[in-house]
Structure 1
Amino acid sequence: MKLLLVVDNHLIRTPDGKVWSKGIYDYSFFSRYLAAFEKVNVAIRIKDVKKEYNGYPNLCSGPGVNFLPIPDFYGIKGYLKNYISVKRAIKKYSEDCDCAIVRIPSAIGFQFASKLRLIKPLGLEVVVDPWDFAAPKMLKSKFRPFIRVLWTYKLKKLCKEVNGVAYVTQFALQERYPSYVHLHGESKKYFTSYYSSANIKEDFYMNPKVYNQKKKKFQIIHVANAINSFVKGHKELIEAISILKDKDIELSVKFVGDGELIPHFEEYAKSLEVENRINFVGRIPDRESMKQELRESDLFVFPTHGEGLPRVLIEAMAVGLPCISTNINGIPELLKEEFMVEVGDVESLAQKIEKLTSNPQLLTEASKASVEKAQQYKEDILQIRRKEFYSQLKNLASTN
């Protein structure tokens, strides 16, 4: 049984035919679908290169996983220019599969899903809320309002039409984008599930941290692989650090990730005279180094504007970091109210940071709570629900 998996990302292919990633994707991600299917064909944007790229360290190729290239374009203009090429890819790739799963939302994802739902058993994996992702001031595109309205409409429509929908949240995304099952009930033809995209194995977890009463300087960490928009709250965190600096609180922030907006945020930090407290360290590609960077920090702060259920937040919790984030989408499923702020509320963000860093006992308790909550997102636990969802789609395909 062959699965067509549609993913929105950018990979490279080296002359030896191997495919590589610089983000969250690697072979372990794609091979999880082999729990139910004999072969997985991955349709994704791929760029052929003539030599190995150091910036793409994660090997995606492996047994049972085959990559089907989509042109490697960027942005709405690039998508429109390659629309016909994507349309041809849909026709070609759909002929060699028994069913499909589309990770959504994305322009490519919507185009594939709209066609595939008419010809193959189809499942969606809903990973982000487009209404929040494309909120005002979040994307550097004049098409942002159009993207927000269109993607929200399309996602609502598709969730009601396709056979299976799996959400990264337990409740949040389901309420805004209900599936056929939520509206009419489950059957062999229509089914739903929820599971995180996180891939956190047992050896990533650590014991809770114990904070020293005499500690005066604190290291905050923020992680976002792509720093190409305002969605992840870099601006708000820089502003909060400026407020706390005026109160003589010793804090520094380590921003992990790379992207075109780094110079903009560095200039913004300079304009607020906190550039010496802000450090952009680039992308950390391997999990062990990321684990060490997280553990060596004191607090994870993630004032995001749009998520499903953020993997980076769960990873920070798994290594024992107290966490502050925004009260949006699935984040309330991870954090208590005392550790959340409303989107864009910089004053409250600064107050939450101040409250935690001035109370080592509270930090220690929050660290313990983080580890306990993150236990629910271990890979072996999530994979049970994933396999059940995949199997329902496979069984449907076998009867068609």
Structure 2
Amino acid sequence: MNVTVTVESRLIRTPDGMVWTQFAPTYGTWQRYLAVFDRVRVVARVLDQPVAPGGAAPVNGEGVEVCAVPHYVGPLEYVRHRMAITQSLQATATTTDAVILRMPSPIGALVASARTRHRLPYAVEVIGDPYDVFAPGVDRHPLRPLLRHHFAHSLRRHCRSAVAVAYETERALQNRYPAGPDAPSLAVSSVDLPGSAFTAPRHESDFATPPTLVSIGTLERLYKGVDTLIDAVGLLTRAGFPVRVVHVGTGRYRAHLEHLAVRRGIIDRFTFAGWVPTTEGLQARLDAADLFVMPSRTEGLPRALLEAMARGLPAIASAVGGIPELLPADDLVPPNDPPRLAEAIRRMVSDPARMALSSARNVTRARCYSARSLEPRRETFYQAVRQATSRGLARGAAR
């Protein structure tokens, strides 16, 4: 049996037929499905370009093909191109493949509705929370409240109707988007840390003064809370507690955030490093820091935080999404609260013994997300999808 997987990713296709990504799951991710399925068809937005962008990784390869959906950016372009998008999904909507929808996703929602009309089964992987993505302060779209209600309601409906559901988190997403009573439901994170991701925990003497903080995340939107971090560093600086910050990531709000750092008088303490295209480069950034900070307004189960934990970094993060499943309460702060974030950073970096204990705890917790730990659960989910799909197709044929 083959499997078709829909993703809300924007991919690049070059004239040689290769498909590339800078940020979305790569070929290595899709190879995981081949442990149970014969072939994988990835359904995603595709933009044709003459050459692959720097640092891009391949998506397709042996056993993995990409089915192109018309490229769009944002809700307005989605509405404008919806007819063409729907037509491009016709084969996916009626195929006898197993179908897994990585949600939330407008593409996945279209396929789910079509599969339901044709009385065909589908499974869902819940990798994010639209209720938080469209929360106040996270998204500035004028239709934000309507989009928040629509996508959260849609995801709940699709999870209840799916023949199997996998969740990025252990509890958070399950509570808001429960599976149907008869559907297999598993916590199966898409984060898959190789052995090379881990280092030994750090000792008290390994932390520098003044400390270097590191944060990671896209600046395409403000949900990573980098503006909150800038305000917190401004408070620390005015209180005579100097820190330095390196942010890895870029996007359309970079200039806005740089101007904010200038206004707070701390631009000399902030380094906007842009994207780091290699795993080794990212690990070098993490290894050079003393504390990882993630003041996000919304998250699923953040890979960047787990990668930092695996490198033995203590961490301070917002109590949103699946983050409380990774860090203890003392290392959590509310989102959108610069004073609380500043105080949490100050208390952590002022206590080397606590830093060392946090380092050891974080490495141990991150090992729960190693490839060796997750592969059996992931294959259990794929087997459940395959078996549930076979039963669903058999019932449909008997009608």
Q: Which amino acid aligns with 1:384?
A: P
> For residues 140 and 50 of structure 1, what CA distance do their matches in structure 2 show?
33
- Assess if the C-alpha contact under 8 Å between 2:9 and 2:24 holds in 1: no
Alignment of 1:86-235 (within 5 A): 86-119=85-118, 120-181=120-181, 186=182, 190-212=183-205, 215-224=208-217, 226-235=218-227
Counterpart position of 1:260: 252
Paired with 1:395 and 1:15, the residues of 2 have a C-alpha distance of: 38
Deviation at 1:24, TM superposition (A): 4.4
Deviation at 1:108, TM superposition (A): 1.9
When residues 214 and 326 of structure 1 are mapped into structure 2, their CA distance, relative to the original with a 3 A threshold, is closer
Q: Hey, what's the Cα distance between the residues in 2 that align with 1:115 and 1:251?
A: 53
Distance in 2 separating the partners of 1:238 and 1:260: 17
How many matched pairs?
391
Shift of 1:371: 0.1
Residue 344 of structure 1 aligns with which residue?
336
Contact 1:134/1:147, CA 8 A, preserved across alignment: yes
**TM-aligned CA deviation for residue 94 of structure 1:** 3.3
**1:281-315 deviation per Cα after TM superposition (whole angstroms, max 9, x unaligned):** 11112212111211111111001111111111111
Contact persistence 1:253–1:277 (CA under 8 A):
yes
Partner of 1:271: 263
**2:139/2:223 contact within 8 Å kept:** yes
Q: Which amino acid aligns with 1:278?
A: F
SS at match of 1:255: strand
How far off is 1:88 after superposition? 0.7
Counterpart residue number, 2:6: 6
Match of 1:286 among 278, 283, 299: 278
Question: What is the Cα-based RMSD across aligned positions, in Å?
Answer: 1.5
Cα distance between partner residues in 2 of 1:232 and 1:84: 33
Match of 2:193, SS state, is coil
Q: Is the CA contact 1:254–1:281 (under 8 Å) kept in the aligned structure 2?
A: yes
Q: CA deviation at 1:144?
A: 1.5
Counterpart of 2:370 (choices 369, 378, 398) is 378
Give matches, 1:294-373, under 5 Å. 294-373=286-365
- Structure 1 distance, partners of 2:199, 2:117, is 46
SS at match of 1:212: helix
Query: Counterparts of 1:229 and 1:211 in 2: how far apart (Å)?
Result: 36
Q: For 2:161 and 2:387, how far apart are their aligned partners in 1?
A: 18
Which consecutive residues of structure 2, in runs of 5 or more, have no partner in the other structure? Answer: 394-399
**Secondary structure of the structure 2 residue equivalent to 1:180:** coil
2:237 corresponds to 1:237:
no
2-structure distance, mates of 1:72, 1:59 = 18
SS state at 1:258 partner: coil
| Alpha-carbon separation, structure 1, partners of 2:341 and 2:96 | 48
Q: Which amino acid in the other structure matches residue 203 of structure 1? A: S
Task: Quickly say closer, same or farther: Cα 1:126–1:398, change in 2 above 3 A.
Answer: same
- The Cα offsets for residues 124-143 of structure 1, whole Å up to 9 and x where unpaired, read as 11111111111112113212
Alignment identity in percent? 31
Distance 1:64 1:268, change over 3 A: same
2:68 aligns with 69
Equivalent position amino acid for 2:146 in 1? F
Asked if 2 retains the 8 angstrom alpha-carbon contact of 1:23 and 1:285, the reply is no
Q: Distance in 1 between matches of 2:209 and 2:284?
A: 21
Deviation at 1:213, TM superposition (A): 8.1
**Unmatched tracts of structure 1, length 5 or more:** none
In the superposition, the TM-score normalised over structure 1's length comes to 0.94
SS at match of 2:89: helix
Q: Distance in 2 between matches of 1:105 and 1:13?
A: 24
Which amino acid in structure 2 is aligned with residue 369 of structure 1? R
Is the Cα–Cα contact under 8 Å of residues 3 and 97 in structure 1 kept in the other structure? no
What code does the residue aligned with 2:115 have? L
1:117–1:162 contact (8 Å) kept in structure 2: no
Shift in Å, 1:157: 1.3
SS at match of 1:166: strand
Distance 1:94 1:73 in 2: 20
Q: Deviations over 1:344-364 (max 9, x none)?
A: 122111111001111111111
Give CA-to-partner distance per residue, 1:309-363, whole Å, 9 cap, x none.
1111111101111011111221111000000011212211111100111111111
- SS of 1:29's partner is helix
**Residues 83-114 of structure 1 deviation map (CA, whole Å, 9 limit, x = unaligned):** 01111122123344412111111222222222
Deviation at 1:52, TM superposition (A): 3.3
Distance 1:220 1:126 in 2: 31
Determine whether 1:394 maps to 2:386.
Answer: yes
SS of residue matched to 2:205 = coil
